[in-house]
Structure 1
Amino acid sequence: MMKEHLSIYALLLLLLFAACNGNNRKLEYALQFAGNNRGELEQVLAHYKDSGLKYEAARFLIENMPHYYERRGIPVDSGKAALATVDTTGLVLPALVERWGHPDMNILEKVYDSQVITADFLICNIDHAFDAWKSRPWNKYLSFEDFCELILPYRIDDEPLEEWRSIYKKRYAFLLDSVYKGTDVVEAAATVGKCLKEEGFVYNWEFGLPHLGASFLLDHRMGTCVDACDLTLYAMRSLGIPVAVDYYLYSSETRKGHTWNSVRDTTGAFWGMWVTDKEWKRGQVYRDGRKSGKIFRRCFGDPYYADASADYFPDTLRVKVAAESPEYLFLGIFHPKKKWVIAHVAEVCNGEVVFPHVEPDAIYGLLEKKGDGSFATVDYPFYFDGKSPHFYVPDKEKEESVVLYRKHPLMAWIGTYLDEIHGARFDFSDTEDFKRIKYTYQVSDTPSVCYNEVLLPVRLKCRYVRYQAMECKNTNIGELLFWEEGTRLYPVTVEGPPAENPVNVSGRMFDDDPLTYYSTRSPGATLLMDFGTQVEIDSFVFIPRNDDNFIRMGDTYELYYHDGKNDWVSLGQKIATKPELTYDNLPHGALFHLRCLTRGEEEQVFHIKDGKQVFISNLSYVR
């Protein structure tokens, strides 16, 4: 027994020495990576050599420093200058976006921190961070390890190196000196967050730039959700509030990721919030509504991220698997082109694979990794209800006939645009004063599709068409098409309320692009269209503002169902001749994917219930 204890003790010593040597190697690598700037980093270490935790903090920053750099170049400077012209609605001149909006990241210069950072800069950052840590009552519950991640870092990602703590503290210190003097860190974060929200932030997603940096964001409150999170992080950390950046990499509903901030309370729990959306509240779990599967937290130290799903999803997914399953299996989220995006990995144990803290009410696939690096499904996809997986197993002996209208969920904001045309009137007249109306058509219900054709009872001889929205509704119109025996008629002039911005003007209704639109925020708007001379109209089409994910006539579609290990199986291609597609050979109980082979990228899986398409989405429009 004594010998066994000695063996364990010897093993622990070996592990300890290995860890120490590993740390030394990591520090030495960082110093070597600094090249001619090594002396600056060594000066910092020497400055803190007898300072205990400050020395450890300096080591933490220096050891991870080779990972960080600033992206520099004229395209970045010009892109930020262009972004700074964004108006209050989030719009910027398209020519500026086209020229400067998306610089090639590969040609930008990478200026590594290790090779340019000064000792004075790093010492200033560490001293200010420690002052912020020690000066706040809630931080007596914040461990040194959490301090290193949530307050100490001198940068976020690839933004310019700046001494930001003092300027942000000067700007916002009054909030914790006079507005809120309590000891609740969540209330403190809510106080700062409320101020940031009131100061405003203009969103624009047209630019693909590196992180904008502390001084730019302080002067120009604009950018993406990432930039809003950066601004929040600078403000919070400068005041000693421990805040992180949480994110998901991919949502099948948007094919994009999203970021927000989370504050750590004195119990170690994190509470997330997108600061320009709502206020921070303890017990309020932030979600943007999109399905994401897993949530991660950005870290300054290696491995530079952590699984934060436990703060958002309490449910554990357990799936029974075949005995011949590989050692590891992967959890996949649907992607219309890549087929699946990997969200998590777990080891197979006793015929079961367990994924802790997985988002419920979502669809997943279970995959294995092949020798060539690709992934393949090992079973049918399933819906996870928070307790058990429910597999979509196709019954090929039982086929259904279904009419399909969309390839992607009808999101709530698109449903709102459709509803805005409900109750609107189209009046036809040969006089500008409309004292002699020859015909009136009123939209009697919210359209269920975007392409709405109206066949007039007789061919109307007229010069003017008037559109009148209901008094309580705004106007968002994608296209108006007027026809005379198959010939498109275009009005010479269109008069009405001004567009809400310089882009979405009335001409957008006649440009043959259903994704562009005329928009005004004048409830009950009246539009007067003058064809310049008398015309004969036998039909017209109105297309509300939409996402172009309805069935589009003339486009080619292909429908698939998932057949487990056989992957996606085609049910055939069709060219749409109406704003709908009818299929008679859908296997009962399967999961489906409708692909548009002509255009577009937004597609989502669905199943059939009571003869109708059902998309799994929290953001769907509900009438």
Structure 2
Amino acid sequence: MIYILFFVLCIFYSCNSQNNSIIFSTKKAKSNRNESEKIIKHYESDEQKLAAAKFLIQHMAFHYNKNNSNEVNLQDLYDKHAAISEKYNWMKTPLPWRQEIDSLEKAYAHQIAAFSFLDYKSDIETIKSEWLIKQIDLAFEAWQNNIYTREYPFEMFCEFILPYRFKEGIILEDSKEMFYKRHHTIFKDSVGASFIQRIDSILYYYKDIRYNFFAGDRIPINSVKTFEQIKYGQCGDRSWFNSLVLASSGIASSIDFAPSQGNRNNSHTWNAIITPSQTIPFEPFWDEDRWKYKIMYNNKTTDRKWGKLRFAKVYRNTFSINKTGPLFDPNISKEDIPNLFKNPRIKDVSNEYFDTTNVNILIPKGIKEVPSYAYLCVYNHEKWEPIQWGKIVNRNVTFIGMGRDVVYLPAFYLNGNILPIGNPFYISPTGEKHIFSISNQTQDIYVRSPGFFRDPKDRLQIINPLLNTHIIGINDLEGIVDTLYTITDHSDLWENIINIQSRNKYNSIELQIPSVLLLFVTSRCTLKKQKNKNKSVT
């Protein structure tokens, strides 16, 4: 339902200027139109606040809350959720806790379903002028009193500090005022601590709000009050919470996400601090290493805790509408648009995280009917998922800013179906495109399925005993003993390809661990000859 509403609204919105967009939004307000007019009149004598009010009003038709006229009450569910956690002393998701939370979710399945089927109603139809005026004044006060951000451009303020909501469907309360009273004095001066350290003090304040490991993940979190009560949620839940908290103190932060990872069956959502010169991502839940994610997400490194992360795309949730893509093309049917691109409030920010490559595709001559758009897909959750769109011009299409070290499939998307238009290909770490050839012949293949460590601490228990382990090449007949490699804390737990410069021949390979000696004969290691006659060990 909400996608249909977006699709219809976007067609009308796409050709409008700002003033026309405000007129469009006020018309969409119906009986609530006079509230928007009151706001504009209230700020007639304040040019900057009037511009901020117009920014909000012109986009409010695209933001929604739940129309809970049926009064679906989930408070009893939340009370029982908190009681279970209290019984386990708010420990970090022990197995019995997860089992009880899942049972609670099943017991309230009817109420949860009823809440999920509630209609959406746009903010422009429901928000009252008095409440929004209060939010605008509070945002300006937080911005102007923050010594670190008060010189930020007005456009940045409007996108990241001014908004009254950072997630659709959340109950609009006076939570920004509550957060402002809690934290705003932290940023009144710069004495004694850095900007990031002051942000840390806020994040640490909410360290007891934890990731739920999917226990009861269908239980809706519909307000700040609920989230602070049950204290468990998903990455997306904590991300909107963080953005609301930080904006309340005049800090510009974003909610960024990778809808489909390039090398894992997963998506991910996180936060980033936005400054005029840089993007500083951090893990939404409290993490002692939360500021390392700029490096983790650069599509080059392998993290000792989380392993190898490769993103095809990173998008950013925005309050404003981004009038690009098939959603704003009046000639495209909504059935021919992937769900990701039915959201008009996302912006591609991949180049803020990693080096990208523009990919050009020529539509094969054998394809007679060519639609207006093509998509690049990554393989995720056992299917190909569209991750970027491209406009087809004269049978050519360019996909802008693709992540490297990722495999892609070019395809059409018609009536909800993926239709491949070429072979899969790999974009190398240096940006080269390598197409996978298709053969009618069959052959035996070796499939390696590495185990999965849910808790990063488990990974550390594996890698730590191996630190400073030497890989030794031995030739007993010639009395040769060479140190070929030393394992460091940057080694990958899944696979390491080690290039060996030695030209000597070995009949065995030893791993000399600091506490014990393990012997692996050559049948246990793979020695591959390279063109330069060097060797690599896998």
Distance 2:204 2:451 in 1: 32
- Per the alignment, residue 22 of structure 1 pairs with 17
- Per the alignment, residue 190 of structure 1 pairs with 200
Give the letter aligned to residue 166 of structure 1: E
Q: Which moved more, 1:219-228 or 1:180-189?
A: 180-189
- Per the alignment, residue 425 of structure 1 pairs with none
- 1:94 equivalent to 2:102? Answer yes
Contact 2:262 2:407 in 1 (8 A): no
Contact 2:377 2:408 in 1 (8 A): yes
Alignment of 1:396-407 (within 5 A): 396-397=440-441, 399-402=442-445
The structure in which a higher percent of residues are helix is 2
- Per the alignment, residue 381 of structure 1 pairs with 424
Distance 1:204 1:83 in 2: 15
- 1:38 equivalent to 2:82? Answer no
Distance 1:416 1:167 in 2: 36
The aligned length equals 401
Alignment of 1:262-341 (within 5 A): 262-279=272-289, 281=291, 284-285=294-295, 287=297, 290-302=309-321, 303-319=344-360, 321=362, 324=365, 328-335=373-380, 339-341=383-385
- 1:201 equivalent to 2:210? Answer yes
Q: Do the aligned partners of residues 280 and 334 (structure 1) sit closer, same or farther apart at CA in structure 2, a change above 3 Å counting?
A: closer
Distance 1:111 1:283 in 2: 36
Alignment of 1:445-524 (within 5 A): none
1:165 equivalent among 163, 172, 176: 176
- 1:103 equivalent to 2:148? Answer no
Distance 1:255 1:264 in 2: 28
Secondary structure class of the residue paired with 2:268: strand
TM-score (norm. length: structure 2): 0.65
Q: CA deviation at 1:396?
A: 3.9
Distance 2:345 2:187 in 1: 30
Q: Do the aligned partners of residues 416 and 149 (structure 1) sit closer, same or farther apart at CA in structure 2, a change above 3 Å counting?
A: closer
Residue-by-residue CA offset, 1:306-331 (whole Å, 9 max, x unaligned): 11111112121434535748564321
Secondary structure class of the residue paired with 2:403: coil
- Per the alignment, residue 343 of structure 1 pairs with 387
Distance 2:261 2:313 in 1: 10
The structure in which a higher percent of residues are strand is 1
Unaligned residue ranges in structure 1 (runs of 5+): 1-17, 422-609, 611-622
Q: Do the aligned partners of residues 83 and 233 (structure 1) sit closer, same or farther apart at CA in structure 2, a change above 3 Å counting?
A: farther
- Per the alignment, residue 228 of structure 1 pairs with 238
Secondary structure class of the residue paired with 2:267: strand
Give the letter aligned to residue 230 of structure 1: W
Residue-by-residue CA offset, 1:543-592 (whole Å, 9 max, x unaligned): xxxxxxxxxxxxxxxxxxxxxxxxxxxxxxxxxxxxxxxxxxxxxxxxxx
Contact 1:331 1:342 in 2 (8 A): yes
Unaligned residue ranges in structure 2 (runs of 5+): 1-12, 86-90, 298-305, 322-343, 463-525, 527-537
2:248 equivalent among 230, 238, 241: 238
Give the letter aligned to residue 412 of structure 2: E
Q: Do the aligned partners of residues 417 and 262 (structure 1) sit closer, same or farther apart at CA in structure 2, a change above 3 Å counting?
A: closer
- Per the alignment, residue 494 of structure 2 pairs with none
Contact 1:158 1:211 in 2 (8 A): no
1:412 equivalent among 431, 453, 457: 453
Q: What percentage of residue pairs aligned between the two structures are identical?
A: 21
Q: CA deviation at 1:279?
A: 4.9
Distance 2:165 2:240 in 1: 10
Q: CA deviation at 1:97?
A: 1.1
Taking only aligned residues, the RMSD between alpha carbons, in angstroms, comes to: 3.8
Distance 1:415 1:136 in 2: 36
Alignment of 1:407-446 (within 5 A): 410-413=451-454
Distance 2:245 2:310 in 1: 29
Q: Do the aligned partners of residues 209 and 249 (structure 1) sit closer, same or farther apart at CA in structure 2, a change above 3 Å counting?
A: farther
Secondary structure class of the residue paired with 1:246: strand
Secondary structure class of the residue paired with 1:262: strand
Residue-by-residue CA offset, 1:8-65 (whole Å, 9 max, x unaligned): xxxxxxxxxx999633332223223323322222211111012111111111212222
Distance 1:61 1:216 in 2: 26
Distance 1:320 1:30 in 2: 39
Q: Do the aligned partners of residues 29 and 367 (structure 1) sit closer, same or farther apart at CA in structure 2, a change above 3 Å counting?
A: same
Q: Find the structure with the greater CA-based Rg.
A: 1
- Per the alignment, residue 469 of structure 2 pairs with none
Contact 1:68 1:112 in 2 (8 A): yes
Contact 1:76 1:209 in 2 (8 A): no
Q: Do the aligned partners of residues 359 and 182 (structure 1) sit closer, same or farther apart at CA in structure 2, a change above 3 Å counting?
A: farther
- Per the alignment, residue 53 of structure 1 pairs with 48
Q: Do the aligned partners of residues 279 and 175 (structure 1) sit closer, same or farther apart at CA in structure 2, a change above 3 Å counting?
A: farther
Contact 1:37 1:114 in 2 (8 A): yes
- Per the alignment, residue 84 of structure 1 pairs with 82
- 1:155 equivalent to 2:165? Answer yes
Q: Do the aligned partners of residues 393 and 385 (structure 1) sit closer, same or farther apart at CA in structure 2, a change above 3 Å counting?
A: same
